[in-house]
Structures are given as C-alpha cells and as structure tokens.
Amino acid sequence: MLPVAHRVAATILLIVQVLAAQNRIDIIDGTAEATSRGPVGVDPKLVIQRIPEDQVTGRTSLDSIVLRLQDQAIVTAEVFWIEIRTDDPFGPATGSPDMTPAGLVGGLGPLVVAFPPPGPVSAIEMSVAFAVPLALPPGDLYVCVGMPASPTWPLDGISVHTSGTFFVPPSVGEQMNAVAVGYSGVAGMSGLAWDYDLATAVLAPSPGNRLWWIGPRFVDDVCQPFASNPAVFTGIPYAGVAGTGTGMDPNLGAAGIFPDVARGDGFGWRVRATVPPGAPGYIIVSTVPTPPIPIPGVGGTLLLTPTVAFFGGFTAPSPTEPPPTSEMMFGPYFVPPPGPVGLDLYAQGLTIDPLTGAMRFTTRCRIRF
C-alpha cells in the first residue's frame, strides 16, 4: 500500500459550475499514480502544468480550470488558488514559467473547498471559472495551483493528483516515446511540469515525466492528439507494483504528443467544440504549419497547409463535458515501425453547426514522432 501522503482517494467527481464554453484539454494519461504537493510538502507551494502553445495554437481566451484535489483529513476546510503565467523571457531556451509579477496573466481565489465525506481522505474534481474569460498572450501557458503551508503534511493538507514515474517499485505513467525530444530539450522527458516553493522561491522541474491533473477549458474549440495501444495503456492505476499506472486508452498525456510507433502506438486526435451532437466535423492534417489564414465565413483561422489528409465524421455527446460541448475522435491511425522518426505532424479540426450552418476551426496541435 502507498504511504498516506501519496495515496489517491476514490475520486468523487463534482463539477461545481455549468459553463457556456467547455472545451477542455487534458494533458494527462488518465490514471493518477499519486497525489502530491511536490517536494518539501509542508511548505506553501505552487504546482505548475505547462500548456505548450503548439498544442493549442490559435487559442484566444481561457474560461475555466478543471482540477483534481485531495485532502488528507476532511475535518479541516482547505484553501487553494489558481495562477496563469507566461514564459520567463530570461529563462532557458526550452521554456519555464515566469514567477515574477510580470509573468502573472490572471488568477482565481483564494478559494475555500470542503471535501465530501466519509473521509478521512477525500478527493474531488472541480471546475473553477473566471468571471470574464481571460484573454491570453502568445506563447506557452503555465497553469499553477497554489496551496498554503501544511505543517502537519502528510497527516493533513491539500494536494493535486498527478501521473508519472516517481515510485519504487516504478510506475509506468506518462509513457512517451523514449527517443522523442520533449519540451525539456531531452529525449524521453516531456518537460511539462514544475514545482515552485513559495517559502524559498525555488522553481524546479518535476521529475519522472510528471503531469498534474489540471485541465484548462478554452473558449475556443480545441484539437488534441492522443495515442492508442491497448496492450500498453491498460488503465491500471499504480498499486505499489512495478509496471502499474499504465494510463488509459486512448492516452491524452505525454504519449499522445509523443507516440511510440516502434512500440505499436497508433495516433489520432480528439476534437471538442461548442456545437450540438451530430454536427459534421473534419480533421485537417499536415506537416506544414502556417501563420493564421482567415477564411471568409469561417470562425477561427486556418493554421496549416492542408496537404496530407482530410477526414470527416460527426460529433457525439462528450462523456465528461456537459452541453454545449460535443466531441469526436479521429483515429487511431497506424503506420509501420519505426515510423516517421523526428517528424512533426500538425492537425486542426473544423466543425459545422447543423442548426445555424456556422463553420469554425479549432486550435491547432502538434504530434512529434
């Protein structure tokens, strides 16, 4: 059994607000290996999830944040807050969050949350919305969850669910292609998570390919890559046994951005859009990204040169997002190993509202083989 500091409670899913635009992306493999405050858990902390610009190119504004939190002792109410930050202009070339006042785009809170019984350990998935959608600057975004000091941690305190490879015996969460160069600049390391200690002002990349269960919801329609490999992504959570914590299939975490064709991974895309179920939708795929190209009569902008593929289908009700969001899956598609090693593949969705005839492009995303 995991130590209580890392045990993931049975999650009670509570969406606390119904929103007008609910186009969420989830850069996590779908099985939480742990709940965490990062190292030195007694200190006040920010845990930070990177949302790379090349995964949501063309996004304009942020509506809300969905996150999974855990409390180790529900007899005490807990406090957290949200910060949205930009890239540090003086940081490494591979990018890192700007922790100065200039890097803060916006925030929410402090927010008080009471966790549901029976406890003593309880977890909750919740959505917190901006009063007015938050306009976003160019570049990568960093979604931070702030937590005050927790002197009795791990006996009590709030934490965030997380996935990765950070246990002994090892979990296998976030199984990205080991030879693909991530946002870290290092092969096999995705570079998508950080920890910031507010007591010491120390910012550190999170180890073990960590991803936090923090999902931004954009006003814009979105397109997100996934990987599929039922033999590998078996949906088994970490249970203190080597090789568990496998991720769900389809896998929308690091493996979705960096699929391993040599392992047998297929790849594809999920489109989420503010259209009713049954709306016609298309995925445009290319190796060539372009600057924004406005198309008369179509919302959003074309952001690639459609020279590779164009697939069609129809949206369905989202299994996790309430109306008016619907979604559609394109793929998985398979190519013979070793695949197009080092190739970047770009994709963008297009939907047509069957009630109004309105057409709209999604954001653009990237897959790296």
What does the pLDDT read at residue 171?
82
Alpha-carbon dihedral angle through residues 151, 154, 159, 163, given to the nearest 10 degrees: 140
Q: How many helices (H) and strands (E) does the chain have?
A: 1, 25
263's tokens: 């392992």
Mean pLDDT of the chain: 91
Query: Is it the case that residue 24 has pLDDT exceeding 90?
Result: yes
Give the Cα separation of 67 and 211 in Å (integer). 12
Sort 289 into a burial class: Cβ within 10 Å, 0-12 / 13-18 / 19+. middle
Binned at pLDDT 50, 70 and 90, residue 73 comes out as very high
What does the pLDDT read at residue 292?
93
What does the pLDDT read at residue 241?
85
Instruction: Compare 177 and 15 and report the one with higher pLDDT.
Output: 177
Domain map of the chain by residue range? 4-219, 261-368
Query: Is it the case that residue 9 has pLDDT exceeding 70?
Result: no
pTM assigned to the model: 0.92
Give the Cα separation of 345 and 53 in Å (integer). 15
Asked if residue 347 lies in contact with residue 259, where contact means CB atoms within 8 angstroms, the answer is: no
What does the pLDDT read at residue 13?
41
**Mean pLDDT along residues 191-214:** 96
Instruction: Compare 1 and 210 and report the one with higher pLDDT.
Output: 210
Query: Is it the case that residue 136 has pLDDT exceeding 80?
Result: yes
Asked if residue 144 lies in contact with residue 97, where contact means CB atoms within 8 angstroms, the answer is: yes
Query: Is it the case that residue 246 has pLDDT exceeding 50?
Result: yes
What does the pLDDT read at residue 250?
97
Query: Is it the case that residue 6 has pLDDT exceeding 80?
Result: no
Binned at pLDDT 50, 70 and 90, residue 173 comes out as confident
Give the Cα separation of 168 and 159 in Å (integer). 20
Query: Which residues, at least 6 apart from 357, have a Cβ–Cβ distance to it below 8 Å?
Result: none
Binned at pLDDT 50, 70 and 90, residue 307 comes out as confident
What does the pLDDT read at residue 309?
79
Give the percent of the chain with pLDDT over 70: 94
* Paired residues of 224 in beta bridges: 270
What does the pLDDT read at residue 159?
97
Query: Is it the case that residue 272 has pLDDT exceeding 60?
Result: yes
Query: Is it the case that residue 4 has pLDDT exceeding 60?
Result: no
Give the Cα separation of 82 and 49 in Å (integer). 11
**Mean pLDDT along residues 263-288:** 96
pLDDT digits (tens, 9 = 90+) for 248-265: 999 999 999 999 999 999
**Mean pLDDT along residues 96-123:** 94
Query: Is it the case that residue 350 has pLDDT exceeding 50?
Result: yes
Instruction: Compare 25 and 322 and report the one with higher pLDDT.
Output: 25
Measure CA 130 to chain center.
Answer: 18
Give the Cα separation of 249 and 233 in Å (integer). 5
Give the Cα separation of 193 and 203 in Å (integer). 11
